[in-house]
Structure 1
Amino acid sequence: MCRWLAYSGSPILLEELLYKPEHSLIDQSMHARLGVGTTNGDGFGVGWYTPDGPDEPTLFRGTGPAWGDENLRELAHSVRSGLFLAHIRASTGTPVQQTNCHPFRYGRWLWLHNGRIRGYPELKRALMLAVDPMLFPRIGGSTDSELMFYLALTFGLERDPVGAVERMVGWVEQTGQRFGIDHPVQMTIATCDGDRLWAFRYSSEHNSRSLYCSTAVDTLRTMYPDNPVLQRVSDDTRIVVSEPLGGLVGAWQPVAESSYELVTPGLDVVGPFEPDHAQPCDV
C-alpha cells in the first residue's frame, strides 16, 4: 500500500514533516510500521498551496524512491506552506510512472489515496464509463486512485465533498457487486481545495488501513510546555497521517472506522461515512 500525510496550519517548511520527525514520511518510505509492507519505493509526490502563489496548487512528483531523491530534499528545505499533501507510493499493480504518482490535481483540488479497488482490472472499464465526459480527458494515469478522484469530481466533489465521496464509494461497491467482487473498496483519502482539508477512512469490509489525526495543539502545549515546535504553530494546526510521525505520547488520535474529518481554520468536524448506493448515473 502507501503512506501519506496532510498538513493544515501555520506555514512551515515541508522538511519539518517530510524529513525531521523521528518517524518522518521519508523514514516511512523505508520502514513503515503499520502498512501492508514496510517499503514504499514506487514513487512519491507533494502538492502545496501558497498565499501568493498560483491559483492552482503546485505539484512535484517523481518515480524513484523518496529516500534517495536529492531534488525532493532541496525543495523541502526551501518551500514553506500552510496547506500541503505528501505521498509515498507502493504500487498495487499499475506501472511506476509520474502520472501514477499522488497527489492528483484538478483546478484548486488535490487528492491522494492509500488502499485499492479490489478487482480493479475487471471493474476498470465499467467505472471509467461513469466519469463525466468533460472530465475524462484530464485522467493522465492508470491507477484506481486517480479514477476514484475523477468519479468523486463527477459526483459533485466541488459542491459537496463528503456526499460526492460517499456517492463514489457507493458506485464502486455497486459495480463490484455486479461483477461478483466482494469488498471492493479499501481506502484512506485526503482531499483539499486550498482552504479546507477532508480525510476519509473506510473499507467495504470495515477493516480499514490506519489513519491518525494530531491532537489539538492547545492540549499538547499543556502536556509538553517545553516543546519548541508546539510554541511556533497556531491552535488550529492539524496533521493527518497514515501512521504517527513520532512517539510523543498523546500526540496522535486514531481516526474512527467509517468516518471523515474536516479540518479548516477555527473548525474541526468529525462525522460518519456511509456510502450512497443510490444509482448515481445510467451506465
Structure 2
Amino acid sequence: MCRWMAYQGNTVYLEELLFEPDHSLIHQSLSARKSEVTVNADGFGLGWYDEREEPGLYHEILPAWSDCNLKSLARHIRSNLFFAHVRASTGASTARSNCHPFAYKNWLFMHNGQIGQYESLRWQMDRWIPEHLYTYKRGSTDSETIFLLMIANGLEDNPHQAITTTLNQILDLMSAKGIEEPLRFTSMLSNGSDLWAIRFSSDEHAPSLYYKRFSEHIVIGSEPLDLSGDGWNQVPSGHIMKISDLSFDSFPLFA
C-alpha cells in the first residue's frame, strides 16, 4: 500500500517534512511501519501551492530515496500547503502518469488503497467519466478514475457529497458484479485552501491515517512522521476530516 502525507500551515521548505523527521515520508518509502507493504518503490510525486492558483507537480518513477532531483527540489521549494506520495503499485504500471498526486484546475488528490477486482470494473467506470473530463485522464490507476468521477459528481461545489456519491457508485457496481474483495480508500483532497482527509473501507481493515496539530501547522499522513508517534491521532474509519486554517472537523462519511 502507498504512503503519503499532506501539510498545511506556515510556509516551509519541503525538505523539513520530507527528509528531516526520523520517520519522514522518505524513510517510510524504505521502511513503512503501518502497512503490509514495507517498501514503496514504484514512483513518487509532489504537489504544492504557491503564488499561482493551480498547484505545481513533480512525478518520478525512481524510488524516492534514490532521486537526487527530489532532494534538491525539496531544499528549494517553499509552500504553506503541499502533498507528497510514495507509491506501491497494486497492479497499474510504474509510469509518471500513474504517480500521485493528480491535479485538476486548482485541485489535488492522492490516494492509498484499492478497488477489489478493479480490472473487471474498469470498462464501466471509465464510461461514467464525462467526455469533457476524460481528456484529463493520463494513466491507468483506479485512483485517477476515482478523482475524475468525484469531479463529475460535483467536487468543486460540494466535496462531501461528491465523495460519498462516488464511493456509493463503486460499491453498488461491485455488489452488482458479485465482487467480495473490499474497497479500501484513504485519500486527501485540496482546493488550495481547504483539505479533506478520508478514511474508509468496505471491510474492517481501513488503511491507516494519522494527523497531528502543531502550533503553526497540521500534518496528515499514512503514518506519524516520528518513530515515537506521540501526539498523533488516527482518523476514525468511515470518517471524513475537513482541515481549514489550522482547524479541523471530523464527521461520519455517510452521515
Normalized against structure 1, the TM-score is what? 0.88
Aligned partner letter, 1:32: A
- Report what 2:20 is aligned to: 20
Whole-angstrom CA distance in 2 between matches of 1:266 and 1:135:
32
- CA shift, 1:182, in A, is 1.7
Aligned partner letter, 1:238: I
- CA shift, 1:183, in A, is 4.5
Alpha carbons 2:117, 2:181 under 8 Å: kept: no
- CA shift, 1:206, in A, is 3.4
- Report what 1:278 is aligned to: none
- CA shift, 1:184, in A, is 3.8
Which one of 187, 195, 198 corresponds to residue 196 of structure 2?
198
- Report what 1:105 is aligned to: 103
- Report what 1:263 is aligned to: 243
Aligned partner letter, 1:265: D
Q: Which runs of 5+ in 1 are unaligned?
A: 219-233, 276-283
- Report what 2:224 is aligned to: 244
Other structure's SS at 1:167 match: helix
- Report what 2:34 is aligned to: 34
Q: Which has the larger radius of gyration?
A: 1
- Report what 2:253 is aligned to: 273
**Residues 43/169 of structure 1: CA separation in 2 closer, same or farther (3 Å cut):** same
Question: Which has the higher mean CA deviation after the structures are superposed, 59-68 or 183-192?
Answer: 183-192
- CA shift, 1:69, in A, is 0.3
- Report what 2:70 is aligned to: 72
| 1:178-257 equivalence runs, <5 A | 178-214=176-212, 216-218=213-215, 234=216, 237-248=217-228, 250-257=230-237
Percentage of pairs with the same residue: 40
Give 4+ residue runs of structure 1 displaced > 6 Å after superposition: none
Other structure's SS at 2:132 match: coil
Q: Which runs of 5+ in 2 are unaligned?
A: none
Whole-angstrom CA distance in 1 between matches of 2:181 and 2:159:
23
Whole-angstrom CA distance in 2 between matches of 1:206 and 1:139:
31
Other structure's SS at 1:247 match: coil
Whole-angstrom CA distance in 2 between matches of 1:191 and 1:94:
21
Aligned partner letter, 2:57: L
